[in-house]
Chains A and B, each alone.
Chain A
Amino acid sequence: MTSLNVPMDPLRTPNSVPESELHALLDGRLSPPECAALETRLANDAVATATLSAWRAQREALRKLHRPLLSEPLPPTLLAAAQRAARSHQQFDQWRRWGGMAASVALAFGVGWLAHGQWHGQSMSQWPKESAQVLAKARGTSQEFARQAAVAHVVYVPEVRHPVEVTAAQQEHLVQWLSKRLGKPLKVPNLSAQGFELVGGRLLPGDAGARAQFMFQNAGGERVTLYLGALNGDTSAAANRETVFSFSTDGPIHDFYWVDQGFGYALAGKLPREGLMQLAQAVYQQLQP
């Protein structure tokens, strides 16, 4: 009906300082010369000056309102939540680094690009010197390990009647047997949350003794294998301290592998890299001591 719902201030004139400038001044968005110029104009604008001082008082009051909260000790529930969030970030970070390395190692395979030091993402020189050396040393043996894992995968996965020596029905026996032969208590990861069930496992020969292979299969008949065993060669303390994650690809077969305390793990399958990486993440987490 009328325009009175938004009443015009009768005291405002075309020469009045616009509101936007008052906000800018109040929120510290103006340079010192701009501030000075505006102050001069404000001297002739009582309405704007009143608005500004009201807003300024508002701002001060707001900032005082819950100031003690800033120095108060944090409630334990929030500290615990922060702890969880920090830990999950650390985990994520580790996995992203793994994913980032994947591309570089995949490139390195077969073509000998590694010799050129062609690493994507962070270059080797940016890494801590020690871990770069560890990586370089461990690379040779763990690559060989990954190759053997891929071969074992390709050999046994197409088997229809004898894919494994001992089936999942005898899982307890399987684990005891392979633990004894590998000289290390083994665990079989549970991948049912990812849709993969254990088919069974088998014993295989490796460079430095026995190796084991566990096979998993999903509802679609897709199989992945987890290959594990002690690495020959470099088992020095330095090389063992750090877990080094890598990715390799050999035709359609992808392979995530890592070495933890001189013991190698390789997860191989025809899955897309993302899917395989998720599985490898589950395996890694479950096999952590």
Chain B
Amino acid sequence: MPREKPPYRYWGSWGGPPWFSVILEVTAEKLPYLAYRIGASSADSTDAGCALRSALSKEEAMAESELYKKGTAIRSKLMGAKYAENMNKSVSTIHHEEIRRLRREAVFGMLWDRPGLDLKTKALICVVSDTAQARWPELAIHLRMARNQGWTRTSSARR
């Protein structure tokens, strides 16, 4: 009598149980964060990390373009200089330096600097958009920006 095949039809084509793909997805989602944590600790403690860090020093990584300078100015204006400075200190790895530069140039230097709407209106749009999409961590940052742009507690609550 031929051996019966095990009931793999619910296990997907590669033979794993259905919940395993969920675990894989969640792990893949967390990977950048895990890599960041591992990178941050190894860059601080190991020789390789130190060498890598000195090879691409902060000054080198932050070769400031005009767009970058403009972005930095707008960012400080929106967030408040002290808060923006504190956020700078919290980022340490080289990958984050690159992302930071991109974000500073593209988001703050180009997007926030576009003509047409003033910063106050743009800040409110971000607050509304974050609320509509349930982006709570981003909302906290954008609320701070809106507050710094002159929206009061009462006026922002009404909207």
Q: Do A and B bind each other?
A: no
Give residues in A with beta carbon < 8 Å to B.
none
